[in-house]
Amino acid sequence: MKNMLAVLPMSLLLLAGPSWAEEPEAGPFMELPQRVPTPDEVSAVSPALAAYTRNLLLDEVWEREGLSQRDRSLVTIAALIARNQVIELPYHINRALDNGVKPAEVSETITHLAFYSGWPNANTAVGVAYRIFEDRGITADQLPSASPELLPLDKEAEAKRREYVDNLYGDVSPGVVHYTTEALFLDLWLRPGLSPRNRSLVTVSALVAAGKVEQVPFHLNRAMDNGLTQDEASEVLTQLAYYAGWPNVFSALPVFKKVFAER
């Protein structure tokens, strides 16, 4: 497992490389915008959207109490990666770095979401982050090691989780059950590049953004055990309403309500 993870960052770069290293051949769809439209461009197409973006989203939602600007950036990046929405990702990675998110945390969020949103989505995010890191002079010594000293394991909690999953799904897919333990909970979740709270924060955000509400109870409880407050969890939904859409958030609301009530 350690040997495999030791080559992960390079493999991500190699797989994602062509997205910025080579210009694809022009085709009928290459005329589509590959960047966030300017305010003037948005106004030319949808004056109402421009007004909502400026007056509601940027001037109001992003300024709400209950969740720091830094946390809002992590939530937003997680949502964009989970939904593979690349056009806004450069703006929000830059904004996250300006809001105090460390390069190591951006890097580790991408690594984490490879497991929770899939390798292709993570590789797409690598292609975006590569240019930003290059422009900002962010170097390898500012990024998490491939094989760091792991955080302590809560052996009792992990034993309960493992027994539950093994009993429920061990006969269905032994491979999934094996890697859920060995790759996720005995390795990925113990990496120090993100605090346990922030790792839970990006996981819950990605699950809601992708509409995977059946996975939310376990991870929301874990997030709150890791220090995310109920007020902060509530405000995560407010942020995600704008970046993942009202239907995904309303699907998650009953799940959050049940978790809050049971706690």
A 10 A CB-CB count for 195 gives 14
pLDDT reported for residue 34: 72
pLDDT reported for residue 43: 97
DSSP assignment letter at 138: -
pLDDT reported for residue 32: 45
Percent of the chain predicted with pLDDT > 90? 86
pTM of this structure: 0.87
Beta carbons of 259 and 219 less than 8 angstroms apart: no
pLDDT reported for residue 25: 53
State both tokens at 195: 């605090």
Residues of the chain below pLDDT 50:
2-24, 26-32
pLDDT reported for residue 72: 98
